[in-house]
Amino acid sequence: MERHPTHMTSTTVTVSAPATVANLVCGFDILGLALESPADILSLSLLDEPVIRIRNLDDFGLPADPEKNICGAVLASINRQLPSHVGFDLVQDKRIKPGSGIGSSAASAAATAVAANILLGNRFTQSELISFAMDGEVLASGARHADNVAPCILGGITLVRTVDPLDVLSIPFPPLYLTVIHPHIEVKTSEARSLLSPEVSLKLAVKQWANVAGLVTGLHQSDYGLIARSLEDFIVEPQRSKLIPNFYPLKKVCLDAGALGGGISGAGPSVFMFSETRERASAVEDAMKQVYARTGIPFLTYVSTIGKGVVQV
């Protein structure tokens, strides 16, 4: 392999990459958003040799072998687009627990793509960065999807209209706060996928896309009532909710506490709720804690607004 071109900087770039919520109730496979927190911290430097070194500062037991590591897969994908392979030293401090359903793998992938792009003089477009990060998702789940990496890289709320070719749009939104509960149970994305019937009734599909149109309209028009009315999933939630203990009682207390609505984050097990204010989101958090304290299942909760995605820190 050739050595990397000499015009590159040899400084270290550190980025923060937030958790993300995919699907947004009715928007299965197309809508997602970036939280402000929790967020991973990742530092990347160029090396003189074309090798990739990975160190994990956290205790999640993630592989340091670049061929088995999500960040390694993203760097390999980036290297395939460079005139000559570049060496990277990567140090990751993950704070988003893997398997939480709030985009832990996407945060690693997106952080790596954005940090590498900064080191390489911002030569890639945001679409290209999303594409590199999707190669990390392939290693994580076997599926080349942008549900989490798109909002993680772009921030805000995103619509992934198509993956191939990649067509991602940013959707404007009014002030919104999220409450997330992460029950510490394992839900494999593959299992959550296999639960879904490959066929749906046309009648329910129409109701679902009516809500998708309502949610997108509510976000554009800052219409909280419309957002709340549109946050109903006729197709995926009825099939997947069984994976999450106490899902319906949890949802009920959140709505009673004033949440606009919410549902399963990604493929679960995390559950999220939207609220109009931070105070309301905190009341929803209290309600969530009360329900889950009774289950004996360990859990974490978060309150966050919608964030800017990966940022240099």
Q: Which of 20, 112, 158, 189 is catalytic?
A: 189
Q: For its own copies, what does the binding mask look like between residues 209 and 228, x meaning CB under 8 A?
A: xxxxxx-xx--xx----x--
What the block records as the tokens of 191 is: 């299992």
Question: 39 or 231, CB closer to its own copies?
Answer: 231
Question: 52 or 219, CB closer to its own copies?
Answer: 219
What the block records as the tokens of 72 is: 């390694």
208 vs 68: CA distance, rounded Å: 38
- In this structure, the dihedral spanned by the alpha carbons of residues 105, 109, 40 and 127, taken in order and rounded to 10 degrees, is -120
Q: Is residue 189 annotated as part of the catalytic site, yes or no?
A: yes
65 vs 299: CA distance, rounded Å: 30
N residues, the chain: 313
Cα dihedral sign, 233-234-238-240: negative
167 binds its own copies (CB under 8 A): yes
What DSSP letter does each residue of 142-175 carry, written as one string? Answer: S----TTHHHHHH-SEEEEEETTTTEEEEE----
CB of 70 to its own copies, least distance (A): 25
Q: How many residues bind its own copies (CB under 8 A)?
A: 39
Which of 18, 19, 28, 56 lies at the binding interface for its own copies (CB under 8 A)? 28
CB of 139 to its own copies, least distance (A): 23
Residues 239, 273 contacting (CB under 8 angstroms): no
What the block records as the tokens of 168 is: 């991602």
29 binds its own copies (CB under 8 A): yes
Q: Which of 36, 137, 237, 285 is catalytic?
A: 137
190 binds its own copies (CB under 8 A): no
Residues 17, 152 contacting (CB under 8 angstroms): yes
Q: Is residue 49 annotated as part of the catalytic site, yes or no?
A: no
- Site stretch for its own copies (CB under 8 A), options 23-31, 81-89, 246-254, 264-272: 23-31
CB of 223 to its own copies, least distance (A): 8
> Nearest-CA neighbor of 269 among 287, 288, 256?
288
298 vs 289: CA distance, rounded Å: 10
171 binds its own copies (CB under 8 A): yes
CB of 200 to its own copies, least distance (A): 5
Question: 47 or 235, CB closer to its own copies?
Answer: 235
Q: Site residues for its own copies, window 80-99 (CB under 8 A)?
A: none
CB of 268 to its own copies, least distance (A): 17
229 binds its own copies (CB under 8 A): yes
In this structure, what are the phi and psi dihedrals at residue 90, rounded to the nearest 5 degrees?
-125, 130
Give the binding site for its own copies (CB under 8 A).
26-31, 159-162, 167, 169, 171, 196-203, 205-214, 216-217, 220-221, 226, 229-230, 235
Q: Which residues are catalytic?
A: 137, 189
